[in-house]
A and B are shown apart, each in its own frame.
Chain A
Amino acid sequence: MAQLKPSYPLAESDAGDALTSSGRRVTEITLAAVVRGEIGPGDIRISPDVLRQQADFAEEGGNPQLADNLRRGAELVAFSDEDLLELYESLRPGRSSALELEQLADRLEAGGAALCAALVREARGAYVRRGLAV
């Protein structure tokens, strides 16, 4: 059978195929499975592939910035809630030195988050120039 090109909305066109970040099919997330305790938080987390697909839809729809955001989101799926809260905190004004921001970017890059790392490096430059980080 020919591979169908995914179309928007995914819930209507592609329901059986969407996978969650744990690799489960969305259609397996049933009420019975939840009641039996078979579904964990990882099963209800969107997968990077789905986010990249949505990014493509956004790009085709004429919004490259939204697409970038969704691609950065795809990179961040693997990070834990605690990690994300901490990373966000580090980017707030006056929280991190230029060096710490560079290390943050390295950590993101090492975690497969190249776009996010670029965002942080861009921030680092601006923060230093505007006196928010030394």
Chain B
Amino acid sequence: MSTGPSLRARFYATRPISRDNLVPENAALGLIAFSSPNDPEPSLRIEDGRIVELDGKAEADFDLLDEFIARRGIDLAVAQEAMALDDVAFARVLVDGATPRGAVTRLAAGMTPAKLARVLALLAPVELLSAMQKMRVRRTPSIQAHVTNRVDHPLLLAADAASAVALGFRELETTVPLLRDAPLNAVALLVGGQVPAPGALTQCAVEERLELELGMRGLTTYAETVSVYGTEQVFVDGDDTPWSKAFLASCYASRGLKMRFTSGSGAECLMGATEGCSMLYLEARCLAVTRAAGSQGTQNGGIDGVNVAGSVPDGMREVIAENLLAMMHDLESCTGNDTLMSSSDIRRTAHTLPLLLAGSDFLFSGFGSIPAYDNAFGPSNFNAEDIDDYLVVQRDWGFEGVLRPQSDADLLPLRRRAVEALRAVLDELDLARFSDADAEAVVQAHGSLDVPALDPHLVPDAADQLMQRGLTALDVVRALAVRGFEVEAERVLDMLRQRLYGDYLQTSAIFTEDMRVLSALSDPNDYAGPGTGYRMSAERRVETGAVRQVWAPATLVAEQNEHSGCLELRELGPAARGTRPDEVVVGLSPAFAHTIWLSLSGLTVAEVLRQVLAGIEEEGASARLVQVRRTLDVGAIGSTASRLAGSGIGIGLQAKGTALIHRSDLPPLGNLELFSIAPRVTRELYRGLGRNAARYARSAEPEPLFLAESSEPLGPNYHARVVALVALERGSVVAGEPLEMEAAWPS
């Protein structure tokens, strides 16, 4: 008896999912999604208009977060009503489509973090999604891209920013492998991102202070990496306090710049200071701080810690719950999906799909629009490699995934324009020069591995110059204009003008491609059950439908025409029943060698028929051909053929390649042998089918015929052709008896 794992166990060990690292729940380490035994009981005590107890803690014991939330984060006017509400009753209000979102946000504003975490723990997955559909702030969903590369190649960043906007991304986020490069990366996105259409927002995620400075200079148009954490220890380890973050938020506001905070479960575990609390409770504290600080929105849902959340039971449900909680706080929700969360394609898709169906303000806080290897944040959960899959899934479900298919013809001119525009700016400002060969390689490239290496000093030196000389977006605008890029100059300038109006400081603000601002105030989510809320327009449905994989019926016509005439059939008159006992009749379908010339396997109908007849002949039987006209059903064709055969054995042959052996005493839809998987039938198998038919006729033992093993999907590859070929067969069906035929194979 063998010891060690079975072949089955060894096989499972090789599956990608086996590389994922899961852990048992451990409340002491904070490795628990919902409801840790250490989470406090919800409580709120108000004396003289001041909160003196919050979630079981007296005022004197408040840590930084408690105090900040107590002073600024809770609406005292509704707090008593909200805290007295039964958890289940509030959960029902939350999920019920007919209760407007305003009723939920009003109550949530008066609830403590522990109360909100406890309510959300009650919801089943689909309840979370139903609530989310109603609770996101903006009616129209949007999406953010990561645009980075491993070498900070500025021209490639500009080209990829243009590609991203062409695909439909409305926020672009970059970061750097090398901090010194940051200003140049910001300029590359600022310029490239305005090439296909106006209004995409751009940011450069770096250390808080530099990020603010880039924004002040107009080189970025929003900021996101304003991190908050759920315990005091981690908050301070992150070198901030709720007050410094609130001040930072006001600094951004003072320059008319959009900004959002970021948090997400798992961060506290990674920093080793969870106080033994659940991930959702700590995130509820982060979100209360975010709202209290006056941030218009947040990026949350795991983010860098998603793999920690993913390692515990219910982790993905927790991640969705924290996204929903952000929405309940009336915060713009930029909902993660920006970190590769599994080695398994099934599992990483299962993480993201529910959110896509429910919708959020930004479905991804970074879809990797560039190849996974170029993502300076680390691979996103979806990357450039997955864009076509994403577009097809969007088409399958009809959810608003915000992206649209783009061909080379769409993208290459935009990439070229972006590259030339940035090249002109860097030249005009005397920052860096690039060769034509560099530029053209970038236009054509999929990623940084496809472009010639840059001088390693070029980018950091140019970025240093940009900072030292105090260059701003106004210099970029001027350079674009004097070098003939007036359209882009105007668009970058318009992004500067927009910060003077401040409209995009409101919650969930984005610009459409015609520079209308969509926000909580101008495009509020009005979902209130079926028939309400955001729905895809007819034009948008057409746009999402036109994916690269849609098969053009003209392809079929062309490939059939190419083989037209490969077999000549001549009618000899009505078919009669034969008398020879060794006679096999081959019944051809109505379109066989009339309108269909190429079968699904890639063999012509001439070759299929030649092999079948050769097989019959090899076994010493005789063959007759008839064409059946009144049915396309291969069983009925074979049955008809068998009843005309002297031996009682017939073969049914459809032009698309489906074939069977029939015997006259079987019911019409029965058969002796069937090749139903036409795309995989080979010459040898058709020949074997002919031989076996002859053996049945002679009452000899047939040989076993098996298709080669394969687990390739057939339906997705062939169904469009099958439907088209069946339509051709159907078009050839006429009333009338079978005809005796003679075949010739032109050379």
Contacts A10-B501, A73-B252, A81-B213 given; indicate if A58 touches B243 (C-beta within 8 A): no
Chain A residues near B505: list those with CB within 8 A. Answer: 51, 54, 70
Chain A residues near B255: list those with CB within 8 A. Answer: 45-46
Closest to B241 in A: A93
Give 1 or 0 for each of A5-41: 1 = CB within 8 Å of chain B CB.
0001111100100101000001001010011010111
Tell me the bound Cα distance from A103 to B647 in angstroms: 109
Please tell me if the beta carbons of B506 and A54 are within 8 angstroms of each other in the complex.
Answer: yes
Give 1 or 0 for each of A63-78: 1 = CB within 8 Å of chain B CB.
1111111101111110
Please tell me if the beta carbons of B291 and A85 are within 8 angstroms of each other in the complex.
Answer: no
**Chain B residues numbered 473-510 whose CB sits less than 8 Å from any CB in chain A:** 473-474, 477-478, 481-482, 486, 489-490, 493, 496-503, 505-507
Please tell me if the beta carbons of A18 and B241 are within 8 angstroms of each other in the complex.
Answer: no
Tell me the bound Cα distance from A67 to B505 in angstroms: 10
**Chain B residues numbered 440-470 whose CB sits less than 8 Å from any CB in chain A:** none
B76 → chain A, closest Cβ, in Å?
11
Selected contact of B294 from candidates A41, A69, A75, CB within 8 Å: A69
Please tell me if the beta carbons of B241 and A50 are within 8 angstroms of each other in the complex.
Answer: no
Selected contact of B244 from candidates A9, A15, A65, A88, CB within 8 Å: A88
> Quick check: is B573 within 8 A (CB to CB) of the other chain?
no
> Quick check: is B330 within 8 A (CB to CB) of the other chain?
yes
Please tell me if the beta carbons of A70 and B68 are within 8 angstroms of each other in the complex.
Answer: no
**Chain B residues numbered 30-77 whose CB sits less than 8 Å from any CB in chain A:** 62-64, 67-68, 71-73, 75
Please tell me if the beta carbons of A44 and B218 are within 8 angstroms of each other in the complex.
Answer: yes
Chain A residues near B218: list those with CB within 8 A. Answer: 44
**Chain B residues numbered 171-212 whose CB sits less than 8 Å from any CB in chain A:** 208-209, 212
**Chain B residues numbered 205-234 whose CB sits less than 8 Å from any CB in chain A:** 208-209, 212-213, 216, 218, 232
A77 → chain B, closest Cβ, in Å?
5
Of B276-284, B516-524, B606-614, B630-638, the one contacting chain A is B516-524
Tell me the bound Cα distance from A83 to B237 in angstroms: 24
Tell me the bound Cα distance from A41 to B239 in angstroms: 30
Please tell me if the beta carbons of A29 and B500 are within 8 angstroms of each other in the complex.
Answer: yes
Chain A residues near B500: list those with CB within 8 A. Answer: 18, 20, 26, 29, 44-47, 50
A26 → chain B, closest Cβ, in Å?
5
A63 → chain B, closest Cβ, in Å?
6
Give 1 or 0 for each of B243-265: 1 = CB within 8 Å of chain A CB.
11011111111111000000000
> Quick check: is B292 within 8 A (CB to CB) of the other chain?
yes
Selected contact of A92 from candidates B241, B472, B486, B501, CB within 8 Å: B241
> Quick check: is B85 within 8 A (CB to CB) of the other chain?
no
> Quick check: is B236 within 8 A (CB to CB) of the other chain?
yes
Please tell me if the beta carbons of B209 and A89 are within 8 angstroms of each other in the complex.
Answer: yes
Closest to A52 in B: B502
Chain A residues near B522: list those with CB within 8 A. Answer: 8-9
Tell me the bound Cα distance from A44 to B519 in angstroms: 22
Closest to B518 in A: A9
Please tell me if the beta carbons of B493 and A45 are within 8 angstroms of each other in the complex.
Answer: no
Please tell me if the beta carbons of A130 and B517 are within 8 angstroms of each other in the complex.
Answer: no
Please tell me if the beta carbons of A119 and B243 are within 8 angstroms of each other in the complex.
Answer: yes
A36 → chain B, closest Cβ, in Å?
9
Chain B residues near A74: list those with CB within 8 A. Answer: 253-254
Please tell me if the beta carbons of B243 and A122 are within 8 angstroms of each other in the complex.
Answer: yes
Please tell me if the beta carbons of A39 and B250 are within 8 angstroms of each other in the complex.
Answer: no
Chain B residues near A123: list those with CB within 8 A. Answer: 241, 243-244
Contact-residue size bin, chain B (C-beta under 8 Å from the other chain): 35 or more
A19 → chain B, closest Cβ, in Å?
8
Closest to B291 in A: A65
> Quick check: is A98 within 8 A (CB to CB) of the other chain?
no
Chain A residues near B244: list those with CB within 8 A. Answer: 88, 91-93, 123
Selected contact of A51 from candidates B73, B253, B295, CB within 8 Å: B253
Give 1 or 0 for each of B284-307: 1 = CB within 8 Å of chain A CB.
000000011111100000000000
Tell me the bound Cα distance from A57 to B519 in angstroms: 12
> Quick check: is A134 within 8 A (CB to CB) of the other chain?
no
Please tell me if the beta carbons of A8 and B243 are within 8 angstroms of each other in the complex.
Answer: no
Closest to A121 in B: B243
Please tell me if the beta carbons of A81 and B517 are within 8 angstroms of each other in the complex.
Answer: no
Contacts A29-B497, A72-B250, A126-B64 given; indicate if A65 touches B502 (C-beta within 8 A): no
Chain A residues near B256: list those with CB within 8 A. Answer: 45-46, 50-51
Count of interface residues, chain A, beta-carbon cutoff 8 Å: 63
Selected contact of B247 from candidates A34, A37, A87, A93, CB within 8 Å: A87
Contacts A76-B254, A123-B243, A130-B232 given; indicate if A54 touches B474 (C-beta within 8 A): no
Selected contact of A127 from candidates B105, B241, B490, CB within 8 Å: B241
Tell me the bound Cα distance from A66 to B507 in angstroms: 8
Chain B residues near A70: list those with CB within 8 A. Answer: 253, 294, 502, 505
B212 → chain A, closest Cβ, in Å?
7
Contacts A8-B522, A65-B73 given; indicate if A73 touches B216 (C-beta within 8 A): no
Interface centre among B68, B247, B254, B481 (most CB of A within 10 A): B254
Please tell me if the beta carbons of A126 and B502 are within 8 angstroms of each other in the complex.
Answer: no
A89 → chain B, closest Cβ, in Å?
7
Chain A residues near B247: list those with CB within 8 A. Answer: 72, 87-88, 91, 116, 119-120
> Quick check: is B737 within 8 A (CB to CB) of the other chain?
no
Please tell me if the beta carbons of A50 and B253 are within 8 angstroms of each other in the complex.
Answer: no
B298 → chain A, closest Cβ, in Å?
12
> Quick check: is B102 within 8 A (CB to CB) of the other chain?
yes
B146 → chain A, closest Cβ, in Å?
26
Please tell me if the beta carbons of A72 and B209 are within 8 angstroms of each other in the complex.
Answer: no
Please tell me if the beta carbons of B493 and A31 are within 8 angstroms of each other in the complex.
Answer: yes
B291 → chain A, closest Cβ, in Å?
6
B260 → chain A, closest Cβ, in Å?
11
Tell me the bound Cα distance from A20 to B218 in angstroms: 15
Please tell me if the beta carbons of A46 and B294 are within 8 angstroms of each other in the complex.
Answer: no
Tell me the bound Cα distance from A72 to B561 in angstroms: 73
Tell me the bound Cα distance from A77 to B253 in angstroms: 9
Selected contact of A57 from candidates B64, B232, B474, B506, CB within 8 Å: B506
> Quick check: is B240 within 8 A (CB to CB) of the other chain?
yes
Closest to B504 in A: A9
A81 → chain B, closest Cβ, in Å?
5
Tell me the bound Cα distance from A65 to B73 in angstroms: 8
A115 → chain B, closest Cβ, in Å?
8
> Using a CB–CB distance below 8 Å, which chain B residues touch chain A?
62-64, 67-68, 71-73, 75, 102, 105-106, 208-209, 212-213, 216, 218, 232, 236, 239-241, 243-244, 246-256, 291-296, 330, 472-474, 477-478, 481-482, 486, 489-490, 493, 496-503, 505-507, 516-517, 519-522
Closest 7 CB pairs of A and B: A69-B294, A73-B253, A123-B243, A46-B256, A76-B254, A72-B250, A91-B244
For this complex, 15 residue pairs linking A to B, each with C-beta atoms less than 8 Å apart, are: A8-B506, A31-B490, A39-B474, A41-B474, A44-B218, A44-B473, A51-B254, A51-B505, A65-B292, A66-B506, A73-B252, A76-B251, A88-B208, A93-B244, A130-B232
Sample of 8 more A-B contacts, CB < 8 Å, known A10-B502, A65-B291, A87-B247: A8-B503, A9-B521, A11-B501, A11-B517, A44-B218, A51-B505, A92-B240, A120-B247
